[in-house]
């Protein structure tokens, strides 16, 4: 909805439209009527889903649905045959644990509006019925007359009707770090950014200077903050790349499992087997096809990654966001407080006709006079609490006070020693401020302000202690230095003074701001964070583009962007009003060319994010203000600042950077890539292992007549190499533990020197498909060899021979997968280069899995439960030898570079030395 153009209307027109009196305010009756019409000045919240709804939503995943069906069918078949429900219970337990983990994470999220509503928990000073009173901000209505003083939070959107040196800090709403000068004048332009509506005050901003009065024009959800709240409420967070890929994988595996089940069921019926028995066989194959532990392993892997990221100063609020960072191709960053320090810093000084860096200044009379004028002609307040000094006021003034303290010039002492006896407050029209202060032999006028305006009232200049009449040459040099600082995004203040023996009858600009002595200039900036330039360069090396989006002025934004390496040759920088004129399609087509956006609104930020996403990019958005919240939520991953960030931005974000350090994002990207790589390793390990199980089962079942004939087996019916309980045990124990351990595998070499993975639809690359197939066939072949040897070398009844063969197949399947897990440490490098022992979790998982497997195979009490037979020494040696073969085979494939067939070399930029 288009904003009402309150800034275009005259004060009297607004008062008439809202039925208020600018002197006496609303009457009690008017207030009650308006409260009934507009409601309380608070933000509305949409209904949230209940815990039960969140829990049920966890079961919408296709793979989870197939698992539940398998558990139910398995239970029905088991009960019909008078057996227990062990298989079904185990599957359902996995599904429920995964759902609980998901719910716990969701409960911590979606609190953006709660944070916004905290802004309504304070009071406001209003005039009603001609009386001044203090009311809760929620009780404000359109038409109320509000009085505002320095330090107060603006309680609603307000049209200013009285301004006395009024300035508002709107960084959290617009992104502009410098407070905005306010006035009462009507603005003629109808299409201007929020930050340029100087006759308006906006809810949640802060009065940083002066005082004023205004008419409340919008409350609650109709304020600019309310519009942001509404955008947050309706923003689509979207699925993460991993969620999309796992959903697609689940569908592929589920459909594959159902297909295999149908084939086996039909084949069994052809062989004349009982329907119930064929159901059980089909379910065992479904269990083999679907890696039951995958959803839980992916969730747990992300949770472990979250804990690691906490140590790297990043708090992850939503689990899947971890891997999304690793896939990020674009980082859209707010400037103020994210790329910069959100604090003014003096970097240049001009005095004695010479420009100095602050680190090179000569502390002489000229330097001292600039600081003296800067300290005395200054409205900052110093608050001491528990011996801690806090300087409150306009940032351009507080930095001068801080600089004075740094050089032994205390404002507290100077205010006492040089009492202020007169002043001409700052006005945006004059761009100057002057004070008259007592000194030892005479009173002095101290003036500061815009250099070009200051020079108009200066008759003299002081150089090295000598005062002379200022020449045009002097002025040209001063203006050139002023311009050079402005081009480099410095905010420049000029300083002048003069002695004055007697106070004029009327202290005003015309009486004291003339014939001044120019002493110098100070150039200050909200400086870039020192670590950001290196972080931006590292992002570029990793194939990630950094884009600056700010509410600040274009000149400032461009200068900072060039300094940080964000804006390079050929890059574009545009204003918000230029963006406003573009259609979504036009923005989509040119978004990759634009590196800097200035004077933008929250809606613009969301459009920019969506334009990148429309090009298939995965967008990370950083920010700290209220204005960043919608884009933080719309982006694939939102990163809020933990120290300077507002509660709103933190609650809307996926990740909170606890040190407000842009370089932490780079560390988080690296961690995200490591986790994503490791989840893919776990998927490859699990799927290749499960394919080995499927081929083993499918081959033996389909070849039942041939096997029976070849080995002289009679009256056993359908032959199975593995029983359902074997499959469940392997999937839940000897598969899941190593897969989980792979999730904490150290990052591979130069992980940040390859391009991001932008495929949001598919888990499988051609190379990964090849590895899964050949490694699955490898495991199946070894398992079938063990099964065949077992039938061949064992004597006894057919039942005894079959049990030994199944036990050997079970042992080789399980233990070969344990050894195979070490192959997954790298798809490129030999484990002897990556290091066998550098992942203690994998070593532990291998020993635990192997130990549990040996317990099942060697303890007599478990033989009946698992339908296994005690093996001879010869049979044990055969199982051990076959189980070690995956290491040998995959090492040969790596050496011959067959392991990555069909896959583009993602290590193009990687140093060949590991």
Catalytic annotation, residues: 334
Collapsed DSSP state (helix, strand, coil) of residue 7: helix
Segments of 37-196 assigned E as strands? 123-128, 131-136, 145-148, 157-169, 180-181
Compute the distance between CA of residue 445 and CA of residue 377 in angstroms, rounded to an integer.
9
540: enclosing H helix or E strand: helix 532-541
Tokens of 812: 């080789």
Answer for the pair 230, 53: CB distance below 8 angstroms, yes or no.
no
Tokens of 202: 């906006």
- DSSP 8-state class, residue 342: S
DSSP helix, strand, coil percent of the chain (3-state; round to 5): 55, 15, 30
CA 121 to chain centre: 28
Give CA separation, 822 vs 266, 869, 875, 884, in Å: 38, 28, 24, 11
CA 52 to chain centre: 28
Tell the residue number behind the tokens 């050997």, with chain if given.
808
What does the CA dihedral 95, 98, 102, 105 come to, rounded to 10 degrees? 150
Three-class secondary structure assignment of 773-786: HHHHHHHHHHHHHH
Other CB atoms within 10 Å distance of the CB of residue 875: 21
**Measuring CA to CA, which residue among 898, 889, 894 is closest to residue 914?**
894
Answer for the pair 857, 872: CB distance below 8 angstroms, yes or no.
no
Angle at 57 between CA 53 and CA 63, to 5 degrees: 155
Compute the distance between CA of residue 729 and CA of residue 733 in angstroms, rounded to an integer.
6
CA 230 to chain centre: 20
Answer for the pair 35, 126: CB distance below 8 angstroms, yes or no.
no
Three-class secondary structure assignment of 717-751: CCCCCCCHHHHHHHHHHHHHHHHHHHCCCCCCCCH
Tokens of 50: 């209940």
Compute the distance between CA of residue 634 and CA of residue 616 in angstroms, rounded to an integer.
14
Compute the distance between CA of residue 455 and CA of residue 773 in angstroms, rounded to an integer.
79
Answer for the pair 502, 392: CB distance below 8 angstroms, yes or no.
no
Residues with Cβ within 8 Å of 690's Cβ and at least 6 positions away in sequence, in order, are: 288, 289, 290, 291, 731, 735, 776
Collapsed DSSP state (helix, strand, coil) of residue 50: coil
**Measuring CA to CA, which residue among 602, 642, 675, 603 is closest to residue 323?**
675
Compute the distance between CA of residue 178 and CA of residue 394 in angstroms, rounded to an integer.
8
Answer for the pair 673, 281: CB distance below 8 angstroms, yes or no.
no
Tokens of 649: 């931005």
Compute the distance between CA of residue 421 and CA of residue 508 in angstroms, rounded to an integer.
13
Q: Which residues of 302-335 are buried (b: 16+ CB within 10 A; e: fewer)?
A: bbbbbeebeeebbbbbbbbbbbbbbbbbbbbbbb
Compute the distance between CA of residue 621 and CA of residue 628 in angstroms, rounded to an integer.
8
End-to-end Cα, the chain, rounded Å: 57
Collapsed DSSP state (helix, strand, coil) of residue 237: coil
Q: How many CA atoms lie within 13 A of 607 on its CB side?
A: 21
């Amino acid at each position: 909805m288009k904003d009402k153009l309150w800034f275009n209307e005259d004060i009297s027109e607004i008062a008439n439209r809202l039925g208020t009196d600018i002197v006496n305010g609303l009457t009690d009756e008017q207030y009650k009527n308006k409260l009934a019409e507009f409601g309380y000045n608070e933000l509305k919240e949409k209904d949230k889903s209940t815990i039960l709804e969140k829990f049920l939503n966890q079961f919408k995943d296709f793979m989870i649905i197939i698992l539940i069906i398998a558990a139910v069918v398995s239970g029905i078949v088991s009960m019909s045959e008078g057996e227990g429900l062990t298989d079904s219970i185990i599957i359902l337990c996995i599904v429920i644990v995964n759902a609980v983990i998901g719910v716990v994470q969701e409960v911590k999220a979606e609190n953006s509006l709660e944070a916004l509503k905290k802004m309504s928990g304070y009071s406001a000073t209003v005039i009603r019925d001609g009386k001044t009173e203090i009311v809760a901000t929620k009780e404000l209505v359109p038409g109320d007359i509000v009085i505002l003083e320095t330090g107060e939070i603006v309680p609603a959107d307000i049209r200013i009707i009285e301004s006395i040196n009024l300035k508002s800090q709107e960084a959290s709403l617009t992104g502009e770090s410098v407070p905005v000068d306010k006035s009462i004048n009507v603005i003629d332009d109808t299409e201007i950014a929020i930050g340029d509506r100087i006759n308006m005050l906006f809810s949640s901003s802060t009065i940083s200077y002066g005082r004023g009065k205004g008419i409340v024009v919008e409350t609650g959800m109709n304020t600019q903050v309310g519009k942001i709240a509404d955008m947050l409420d309706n923003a689509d967070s979207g699925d993460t790349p991993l969620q999309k890929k796992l959903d697609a994988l689940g569908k592929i595996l589920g459909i594959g499992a159902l297909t295999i089940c149908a084939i086996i069921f039909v084949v069994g019926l052809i062989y004349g087997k009982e329907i119930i028995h064929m159901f059980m066989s089909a379910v065992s194959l479904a269990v083999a096809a679907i890696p039951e532990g995958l959803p839980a392993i992916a969730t747990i892997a992300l949770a472990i990654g979250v804990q690691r990221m906490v140590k790297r100063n990043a708090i992850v609020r939503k689990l899947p966001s971890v891997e999304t960072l690793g896939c990020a191709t674009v980082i859209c960053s707010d400037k103020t407080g994210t790329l910069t320090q959100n604090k003014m810093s003096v970097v240049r000084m001009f005095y004695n006709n010479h420009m100095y860096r602050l680190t090179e200044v000569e502390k002489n009379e000229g330097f001292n006079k600039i600081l003296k004028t800067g300290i005395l002609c200054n409205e900052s307040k110093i608050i001491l609490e528990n011996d801690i000094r806090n300087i409150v006021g306009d940032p351009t003034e507080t930095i001068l006070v801080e600089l004075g303290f740094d050089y032994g010039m205390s404002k507290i002492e100077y205010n006492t020693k040089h009492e202020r006896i007169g002043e001409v407050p700052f006005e945006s029209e004059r761009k100057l401020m002057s004070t008259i202060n007592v000194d030892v032999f005479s009173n002095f006028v101290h003036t500061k302000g815009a250099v070009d305006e200051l020079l108009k009232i200066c008759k003299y200049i002081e150089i090295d202690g000598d005062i002379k009449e200022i020449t045009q040459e002097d002025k040209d040099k001063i203006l050139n230095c002023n311009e050079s600082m402005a081009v480099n995004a410095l905010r420049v203040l000029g300083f002048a003074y003069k002695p004055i023996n007697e106070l004029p009858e009327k202290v005003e600009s015309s009486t004291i701001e003339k014939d001044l002595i120019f002493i110098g200039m100070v150039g200050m900036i909200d400086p870039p964070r020192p670590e950001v330039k290196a972080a931006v360069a590292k992002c570029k090396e990793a194939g990630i583009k950094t884009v600056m989006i700010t509410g600040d002025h274009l000149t400032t934004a461009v200068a900072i962007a060039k300094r940080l390496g964000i804006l390079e040759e050929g890059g574009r920088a545009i204003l918000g009003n230029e963006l406003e004129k573009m259609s979504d399609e036009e923005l989509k087509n040119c978004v990759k060319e634009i590196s800097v956006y200035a004077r933008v609104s929250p809606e613009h930020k969301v459009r920019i994010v969506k334009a990148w996403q429309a090009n298939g990019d995965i967008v990370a958005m950083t920010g700290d203000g209220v204005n960043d919240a919608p884009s933080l939520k719309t982006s694939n991953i939102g990163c809020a600042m933990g120290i300077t960030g507002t509660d709103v931005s933190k609650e809307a974000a996926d990740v909170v950077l606890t040190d407000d350090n842009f370089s932490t994002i780079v560390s988080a990207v690296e961690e995200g890539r490591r986790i994503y790589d490791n989840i893919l390793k776990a998927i490859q390990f699990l799927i290749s292992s499960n394919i080995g199980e499927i081929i083993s089962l499918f081959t033996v079942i389909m070849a039942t007549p041939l096997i029976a004939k070849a080995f002289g087996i009679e009256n056993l019916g359908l032959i199975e190499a593995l029983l359902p309980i074997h499959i469940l045990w392997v999937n839940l124990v000897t598969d899941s533990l190593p897969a989980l351990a792979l999730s904490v595998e150290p990052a591979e070499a130069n992980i940040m020197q390859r391009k991001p993975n932008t495929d949001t639809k598919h888990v499988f690359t051609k190379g990964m498909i090849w590895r899964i197939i050949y490694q699955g066939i490898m495991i199946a072949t070894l398992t079938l060899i063990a099964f065949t040897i077992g039938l061949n070398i064992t004597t006894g009844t057919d039942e005894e021979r079959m049990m030994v063969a199944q036990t050997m197949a079970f042992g080789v399947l399980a233990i070969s997968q344990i050894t195979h897990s070490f192959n997954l440490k790298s798809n490129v490098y030999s484990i002897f280069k990556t290091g066998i022992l550098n992942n203690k979790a994998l070593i532990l998982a291998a020993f635990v899995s192997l130990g549990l497997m040996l317990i099942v195979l060697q303890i007599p009490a478990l033989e009946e439960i698992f339908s296994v037979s005690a093996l001879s020494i010869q049979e044990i040696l055969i199982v051990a030898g076959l189980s070690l073969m995956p290491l040998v085979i995959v090492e040969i494939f790596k050496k011959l570079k067959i392991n990555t067939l069909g896959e583009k070399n993602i290590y193009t930029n990687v140093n060949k030395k590991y």
